[in-house]
Structure 1
Amino acid sequence: MRLVFWPWILLFFTFVASSWSLSSDGQALLALSKNLMLPSSVSSSWSASDATPCTWNGVSCNKRNRVVSLDLSSSKVSGSIGPEIGFLKYLHILYLFCNNIYGSIPPELGNCTSGTIPEELFKNQFLEQVYLHSNQLSGSIPFSVGEMTSLTSLWLHDNMLSGVLPASIGNCTKLEVLYLLNNQLSGSLPETLSKIEGLRIFDATNNSFRGEIPFSFENSCKLEIFILSFNQIRGEIPKWLGNCSSLTQLAFVNNSLSGQIPPTVGLLRNLTYLLLSQNNLSGPIPTEIGNCELLLWLELDANQLEGTVPKELANLRNLQKLFLFENHLTGEFPENIWGIQSLQSVLVYRNGLTGKLPSVLAELKFLQNITLFDNFFTGAIPPGLGANSRLVKVDFTNNSFVGGIPPNICSGKTLRILDLGSNHLTGSIPSGVSNCPSLERFILQGNNFSGHIPEFRNCKGLSYIDLSRNGFDGPLSGSIPFSVGEMTSLTSLWLHDNMLSGVLPTSIGNCTKLEVLYLLNNQLSGSLPETLSKIEGLRIFDATNNSFRGEIPFSFENSCKLEIFILSFNNIKGEIPSWLGSCRSLTQLGFVNNSLSGKIQTSLGLLSNCTHLLLSQNSLSGPIYPEIGNYRMLEWLELDANQLEGTLFLFENRLVGEFPENIWSIPTLESIHIYGNSFTGKVPSVIVQDYNGWFSKITISPELGVNSRLVLISFRNNSFVGGIPPNICSGKGLRVLDLRLNHLNGSIPPGIITDCLRLQRLVLRDNNLSGSIM
């Protein structure tokens, strides 16, 4: 009896044990979690003691307790996707986007196929949606992607995927949405995409796809969004796109497309975005674009389009952004376009457009950005501009506008950039501009403005001011210095070529972010403020042609960022500061026509990047330091009209042009070493003791050597013509005469033998000389 009872006991416990065991789908998920690190908010409910995973966070099941959806999106999941994903046979939806998942896409996703269910547990026929975007997935897209024939949505964007888009993708004939943007995919787009006739969205922005667009939906196009921007696509825009009547977004920005924009684009009546900028498109803008009445954005900039702007664009009554800049467009800009009430941004700069701005422009309530620079617009700026809108940027630079600045241009308190330079504007700066709290960049250079520079007391964020080449007058003092000191965001201040007078205020030192300060060609006076030392990031300081006096009181000894430092044509006295030697980025140093004295500091020899060293017309004395030979980049040297003495070393630089004759007249100069340059000019008869040069296309003065103390002459490898001066050795001290590799002719003067008593080296080869030296 006992033996018969035990089999039933064993069967009972087997049944109980089987009810306690986790299903295969649950086991697959737990195995998957070994590589995928789940946060506690997810893993807290994943228990091996459950019979099914259907109550786990992120998991959904069907009526048979099989996992059909795994949604761990935006859950701070990290790690990699293991092959166990392929064990979920009934998985329809996989959402893993917006996490920190890395590694490659497992080929086991290819087990999510349709057709007969194989006996193996890791086969699946139902997977329809795969969302793996916004992770760190790398590697290539598996070829097995073509086995997921039930797939309708594949989101792989914002990863680090590389390689090609497999041709097998064409087997996913139910695919409707394919997002590949922001990866590193390359190669040609597969022609097999033509097989996916139901494709609605294809976005492959910002990859490295190349070649032409090989596929076609000419007969049946369901595309609604088609974006290939920022790739290397070439060829022409396919005409079959005109058949895609459902298309709302078409974008090929930053590719290598050529040819003309097909007129069939005008058939896309549902189009809201047409973005074709930064290509090589040519020809006219099709008038048919005016039929796309739902268009919001039209970007055709940075191409080679020509002709006029079609007046039909005024039919785009919903247009918000019109980008036509950097083309070859000419003719009058259609005035009726300014009547589109929805306009937000109009960028047509760098063309050859003409026309005037109508008063209706002031009625555009949504207008934020109007950029017209480098065109030929004329007339006055509408006085009501800005009164009814929240303008952010206005740039009319380099046109022919007249009149004044609209007084209410900043009434919206959002204007950040106001560039009106290089026009014919007049009047003064309106108080509404000088009190604009949002203003960051303000340029009026090259106009005819006059009056005082106003206070910018409320412009706390103003970083760039260019008021140069106008007629501003009045002292730079009083309230102006106060407001300058308060503009602590200022990085560039251009005030040159005005009639400003007074002193440079000490409050300028509060502008510690200042990098560029141009004050040249004004009537400023007084001493330079010591507070300039506080502006440690100053790169450019040019105060040429003012009346500044005194010594240079400031110093950047510990931290010098100066690249250009020019104080020429002032009344600066004292010595050249030794701390300039620490300004290793200095390229231009100019103190011409001042009252500087003392020696040229040897520390200046450390300025190896210097191209312009202009110290003429001062009272400098002492030797010309040999370290000047370290200036391998030197292009312009002016040391004339001083009291310098000694030797001049300029050899092996990049100096060009005519060698200044007044250098030869420095009475105390003993040696000039300037070989290895490309000078032109003539060598005068008044010469120094030691000359070593390299000239081109010059002649030797016949008086060279008369009453001189020449010891060495080296004119080798130049283009000297004519003969050797007959009295070249009249000074009796010449020891080296090297005239090789020139175009000299005539007879060798007998004085070379009779007068050159100390001559040790004579080289005359490679010329056209005749005669004898014996």
Structure 2
Amino acid sequence: IVFLISFFIFSFSNAQEDSSVLLSFKNSVEDPSKTLSSWNISDNFCQHWNGVACTTKGRVSVLELEHLTLPGSLLVSTINALPFLLELSVLGSNFTDAMNSSEHACSLEMIKLSSNQNMTFTSSFDAMLSCQGLKVLNLSNNQIDGKIEVPIGNALEVIDVSHNLLSGEVPLFLSSQCRRLRYLDLSHNHLTGELPVDLLKNCTNLQQISLAYNSFHGPSFPSIHSLPSLEFLDASFNNFTGPVPAIHENLKHLNLSSNSFNTTRENLCPSLNSSRLESLILVNNKLTGRVLDSVLNCSSLKMLDLSFNLLAGEIPSTICKQLPKLEHFLAWVNNLEGQLPPNLASCSNLTKIILTFNNLSGNIPPELLSNTKSLQWLSLSNNRLSGEFPDSLEHANELLVLQLSNNSLQGKLPSNMTVQTINLRGNSLSGRIPASLNASFYGFSTSSPSFIDVSFNKLVGGIPRELGSMQDATYISLAHNFLSGTIPEELGDLKNMIGMDLSFNGLQGSIPGSFSSLQSLTGLNVSHNNLSGPIP
């Protein structure tokens, strides 16, 4: 009994010490948002103090702080005075001095110091050195400068130092101290240098790596083929060169955009039907040749974006057979040529096709619009497409964005579409503008097109007054056609209209007085017509 009483008194005394430490901390910081207002000596600090959690023995184990003004040295001394503290979070605060080094043992397993101001260290990250059991280190978005010079410890599983001002090269000791590391984020810094091929050879548990938005360069790239757990890699916005690195079959997401990679291997994915790669983004590199052929082994692909390169050749006729899960196919601003393969329509999950600024020719396969039931975005502008405008467009019930401008398409405008953005500028379309271009046929039950550009075509006849019912419309261009008649008074009902271009036609009469109620209108061009009368 005496032992139990002594143990209880000892435990209560230690718990009271933790309470005193926190109250002293509260009295030494500025708390403009009153986040520590619940820290009152009369309440049980383990149960009622905001941001505080305790062990079963009543010792502080979790401390979550935000929106304070505090000295960094005070935070370090508080950590030292709480021997059972496992998790520390400080968000959106302002530090008034540096976090100094400490010789005291640190029990912390998780440190999250994010989105703070003026947070500095007396010497790199030495304030963390005594936390030998640290598993999670998040120092993101603090504008920390300097180099990563201090060893990080062997227990770390998560490192996030993104969105800072760190510079210099990635330290080589990372390779020997990353056996447990699962998540590494060095993105949005000023890190430089070439990364050795064997930099990550011992990081066999890595699942996510982000090196994006730095200044890494050179043909050398850390080998990722030997990282069996890796699922996500983002090394975009650097200056890596040479071939796209070989990948492991378990990788799911690869983003190497805005580098200078110039070639891909014959088969980017290791083997057919074993690849788990779902997202491949190689935008804005210097890739040349028939790169599309090299990705056909990536049978799990859902997102493929090869835009802004120098791709050549035709779109493989087997692309849907080999990539049956494809949802997003983007390869705009390249040198692709030949016709759109009709069996592109067999990609039943396709929601977005963007192939603008290529050299594609021939007709638009009718089945591309009638069979791809999920297609929401079709952009084929600035190619060499010809033939009749596809009637099957009327059956593309999910289509929201249609961009076919600057081709040589002929035929008439279809009347029943579900499109919200229509850009057919610069073709050879003829006939009249259908009166059924209105809200009862467009979009969902309450929506209508917001953007219509059919300028630089060969349209004739009058402007249908029914266009005035398109209440969602913000821009209409009917310029450079052969339209006649008067401007319908009903166009003044388009309350959301921002820009309207009716120039270079044969319109007569006056500008409708109803246009004076178009309060959102910032641009109106009715030049080069036969209009007369006052301007409303």
Answer whether TM exceeds 0.5 for this pair: yes
**Could you say if the C-alpha distance between residues 148 and 529 of structure 1 is closer, same or farther in structure 2, counting changes exceeding 3 Å?**
farther
Residue 144 of structure 2 aligns with which residue? 186
Query: What secondary structure does 1:305 align onto?
Result: strand
> What percentage of aligned pairs have identical amino acids?
24
Q: State whether structure 2 residue 380 is matched by structure 1 residue 423.
A: no
Q: 1:151 to 1:442 in 2, by over 3 A?
A: farther
Tell me by how many angstroms 1:251 deviates: 1.2
Q: Per-residue deviation at 1:309?
A: 2.4
Structure 1 contact 484–508 (Cα < 8 Å) conserved:
no
Counterparts of 1:13-32 in structure 2 under 5 Å?
Answer: 25-26=15-16, 28-29=18-19, 32=23
Stretch of structure 1 that moved more, 549-558 or 228-237: 549-558
Distance in 2, Cα, partners of 1:433 & 1:28: 70
Cα 1:113/1:483, change in 2 over 3 Å:
closer
> Is the Cα contact below 8 Å between 1:339 and 1:360 reproduced in 2?
no
What residue number does 1:353 align with?
Answer: 311
Q: Tell me if structure 1 keeps the 8 A contact 2:79–2:106.
A: yes
Structure 1 CA distance, aligned partners of 2:371 and 2:96?
54
Aligned to 1:234: 192
Match runs of 1:267-278 below 5 Å: 267-278=226-237
From 429, 434, 443, the equivalent of 2:403 is 443
What is the 5 A alignment of 1:24-173? Answer: 25-26=15-16, 28-29=18-19, 32=23, 48=42, 59-62=53-56, 65=57, 67-68=58-59, 91=60, 93-96=61-64, 102-104=68-70, 107-111=73-77, 123-127=81-85, 129-132=86-89, 135-139=91-95, 143-144=99-100, 146-147=102-103, 149-156=105-112, 158-165=114-121, 166-168=124-126, 169-173=128-132
Give the letter for the 1:335 counterpart: D
Indicate if the aligned counterparts of 2:304 and 2:330 stay in contact, CA closer than 8 A.
yes
Contact 2:250 2:276 in 1 (8 A): yes
Q: Which runs of 5+ in 1 are unaligned?
A: 1-14, 69-90, 115-122, 580-774
Change (3 A) 1:102 1:413: farther
How far the C-alpha of 1:273 sits from its partner, in A, is 1.9
Deviation at 1:214, TM superposition (A): 4.2
Residues 249-258 or 203-212, more deviating = 203-212
Give the aligned residue type for 2:166. F
Change (3 A) 1:151 1:49: closer
- Tell me which amino acid in the other structure corresponds to 2:250: L
Residue 169 (structure 2) aligned to one of 187, 191, 212: 212
- Quick one: which of 235, 238, 259 aligns to 1:303? 259
Distance 1:149 1:410 in 2: 68
Deviation by residue 1:207-262 (Cα, 9 ceiling, x = unmatched): 33334334633444323322111222233334452423323322111122222342
AA partner of residue 404 (structure 2): L
SS in 1 for 2:432: coil
Q: Deviations over 1:51-95 (max 9, x none)?
A: x96899975445xx4x23xxxxxxxxxxxxxxxxxxxxxx4x315
Cα gap change, 1:471 to 1:209, in 2 (>3 Å): same
Offset of residue 527 of structure 1: 0.3
Deviations 1:673-725 (A, max 9, x none): xxxxxxxxxxxxxxxxxxxxxxxxxxxxxxxxxxxxxxxxxxxxxxxxxxxxx
Query: Is the 1:387–1:410 contact (alpha carbons within 8 Å) kept by the matching residues of 2?
Result: no
2:459 aligned with 1:491: no
Higher RCO (C-alpha under 8 Å, 6+ residues apart): 2
Instruction: Report what 2:420 is aligned to.
Output: 463
Q: Residue deviations 1:372-398, cap 9 Å, x none?
A: 111111233232335443222210112
Quickly say closer, same or farther: Cα 1:190–1:422, change in 2 above 3 A. Answer: closer
Greater mean alpha carbon deviation, residues 534-543 or residues 406-415: 406-415
Deviations, residues 128-149 of structure 1 (Å, cap 9, x unaligned)? x22416x433327952464564
Tell whether 2:302 aligns with 1:344.
yes
Does residue 249 in structure 1 map to residue 208 in structure 2?
yes
Q: How many residue pairs align between the two structures?
A: 509
Distance 2:297 2:217 in 1: 32
- The answer as to whether partners of 1:22 and 1:49 remain within 8 angstroms in 2 is no
Distance change in 2, residues 1:176/1:482 (3 Å): closer
Taking structure 1 as reference, are residues 290 and 556 closer, same or farther at Cα in structure 2, changes over 3 Å only? same
Q: What is the root-mean-square deviation in Å for CA atoms of aligned residues?
A: 3.7
Alpha carbons 1:318, 1:340 under 8 Å: kept: yes
1:348 positional shift:
0.7
Shift of 1:532: 2.4
- In structure 2, the partner of 1:745 is none
Q: Is the 8 A contact 1:347 1:371 kept in 2?
A: yes
Aligned residue number for residue 660 of structure 1: none
Q: TM-score by structure 2 length?
A: 0.82
Shift in CA distance, 59/551, structure 1 to aligned 2, threshold 3 Å: closer
Out of 332, 335, 338, the residue aligned to residue 373 of structure 1 is: 332
1:534 aligns with 2:493: yes
Q: Per-residue deviation at 1:22?
A: 7.1
